[in-house]
Structure 1
Amino acid sequence: MLLALIQLTRKNGFENRRVNFSLYEVVKLLGWDDGSKSYTRVIVSLLRWKAVLLTYHESWRDNSERRWLSRTFNMLDEVSIYTSPGRRSKADSNGQSQLPFSSFAWSEVVFKSFQDGYLKNLNFPVYKALGSRIAKRMYRFLDKCFGRLKGPSVSFDLRDFACGHIGLIGDYEPWKLKQVLAPAIRELEETGIIAPLSSDQRYEKTGRGKWSIVFQPPRPSRVVMGKTIPVTDSVTSLVAALEQHGVTGKTAAVLAAEFPTEQIELQLDVLEWWQSTNRKPVIKDPAAWLTKAVRDSYSPPKEYEPKVERLRKEQVAEEQRQKVEAAKRRRDEAERMAAAERATADGAKRAHVERFLASLSPAAREAFERQAIAEAPPLYRENIRRGNGPLAETSRQLVIEEAVLRASPMTS
């Protein structure tokens, strides 16, 4: 009923919170039969809404003040209904209601909310076409959820969705909730309001006796060459790949609609292989070549390697490169450790030599060094005799060091 009242107000452009109407107009708007029961339903529903008091605790949004507040109000301030015998309004040939008019007035709070933009657009003809009340409730709720959707789907606790949002009453087991919701879900799928999902995709067990229910908005579609083509992920990726090579969006959509996915993917891969290997002749107009290759179903060159094979070879080459690098790292580490060990050993040897020489008196040290030089190999003696350069100094140090180690061997 509220949706019908909103539609009546929308016809007036939301210019006035008071709206004139006829019972006949409301009955036809709702798609009910023109019988006394329908008129009674309209009257009872309007009177009930007039009596309803709504209370929001810190959850009513005042857009003009940009803040949340608590508020209590009626949905309707006034309802006036003409029910006198013989005065029932009917539509004339132009579809306009005749006098006398009934009327209703939105409360100031509700009407201001409408004007502030807190009113979700709903496809009312689609809503009316739904056969089940559960489907209609689901449509209204999911339409709002899809409007602020940030991911590919929305998910709810099954019991919270069915009883808290859709209004099912009863302590149903999960299997019974699924059974009750199934006809409405099927109707929404067939109407194109939600995307079809398998049972495993629709329901997910979250715990013992707990299930979640998942909904996805319908996939978009486009009309190409008189055909309605669902815009699936594969179609979208194909069109994007074709456009990346310069094919226009319209031509890409036609190709995706007319030719098998495998055929398009093959020609895309051949083109990329051709360009990556710098083959001759150079394809100067990739978009034109690609369009013709798809349409004429070009056969790949004999040298062509499918992407899977190219990726396999690249993987093998990468694994070999990593093995070579790993071996080099191991060699470098071994050499570093060996150098560190040598440095440690050399340092220990030098310290041993210095301690031994320091333990000698100056005279004894001089005699020890003279004897070491005298017993050194001829080449070292000749280097020392020739002068005071780096070669002579190094030879002298080596001779004395060897002599110290013979006289006082290092212990491990």
Structure 2
Amino acid sequence: MEASDSQKRHRRLEAFEKGRDELNLAEFPLAAVCNRHLDGTKTVVFEDTVWDEEKRKRLPRKLTISGSDRFGLPTSKDDDVLLACVQLSSLENFDQREVHFSRYELLKLLRWPDETRYYRRLATSLRRWKGLTVYSDRAFYDKARRSWVNRDFGIFDNLYIYERDEVDKAAAQADSWLVWNEVVFGSFEAGYLKKLDWDFYLRLKDPVAKRLYRFLDKRFYHSDRLVMDLGELAFNKVRVSPNYNTAQAKRALMKGIRELEHLWELRPMPEEKRFTKVARGKWEVLFTKDSRKRPSPKRPEEVIDPLCTELTRRGVCQATAEQLVKEHPAKRVQATIELFDWHNDRGEERGAGFLVAGIKSAEAYAKPRGFQSKADLEQKRQASAAANRKREAELRRVKQRELQNIKAAEAPFLAFWDNLSSQQQERYFAEAVAAADRTKRDGYQRLKEVGGPVFEQYRQLILKDHFHRAGPPKAG
């Protein structure tokens, strides 16, 4: 059978590897690298300087982002979703501002599980981007005008989310749609884009590594060496917590840096060479590109424990996930994952720390009211199946006894009837009809011309009633 258009589109999304990144989005972190905002922040301001070719000097620039009261500011998962939307436009060669899709397709593109909580997460993320406003004071580069511009705009002008695609799944058409803001789409049309290894991006686990990969890949276009102020990189380009001190900022960056050193073209170096103190309270960070390296190939799926994959999908870094699976019983890991999902599906958000602490703890988390693990459900299912089998066996025994009793009760009549000649049977049946009660006799007479199963039942009842009432005819 030939695959439908939607199935072909889904396969294309699953196999998608090479994409595009918009250079302004690679430069400015509109999304935080944390999984959620704990302080309720709705507005963030970024300030730095930019070289102005016309005036031949560095000028200050400022970018302000403000989220909606309902959905707040984007986080690391939202950054993935926005970038996936860019890939949807890339697949259509950035032909038009309006992009049609289904949430199922976005799940496939992001390689997220096909589960209810992820459909809801996508909807929240898209609405979060719809509610975001960007205020640019010489911060957003307009390639068509070849200048940094003062523009205030959103990411999406319009958004429609079709709710039934969670049910329709692979059969769903592209019934959701978004409309890019003209400023963002104008940047697409002007070609202010760079290549992006989408497959490699998705294989990165740490949000800092993802953010650094996009930023450094953009900056390495001009030079294989980059030196930056630590604070500017950490707070304005990667966007770690603004409450971090220098030591905390370095630790947060190093986690992502190590992943890029291992998997990407970033040249490894000791931490003391990576970070250099240039003055009191002022540090610089050095990056160099090793062009001889290439992104590491995919790890064969068969060597990755499925529980590791489930943990990393929920925010646990790869190394920690592997350690947890190696050191703790699979049953405990699975139960903690299920409890994590149960809380999040109910809107009781839990982070990766909940998983790690629950698996490592000497005592398992207490099961909240209403929670049932897969093991519990399987145990109940097996118990219910066993009870059903026992009940069905008893019903079969009862039915068999009833059949035996019926056969035993009918045996004398059958023996008698089989010993009669045809004429005797006709004469005996005529006597039985004449002696039958009115209801059965009327039913027999009414169906006599029609025949059929009901008629035959009336006939048998009349015969057997007469046999049990009058017995066999007397001899002679």
TM-score by length of structure 1 reads: 0.49
TM-score by length of 2: 0.42
Structure with greater Cα Rg: 1
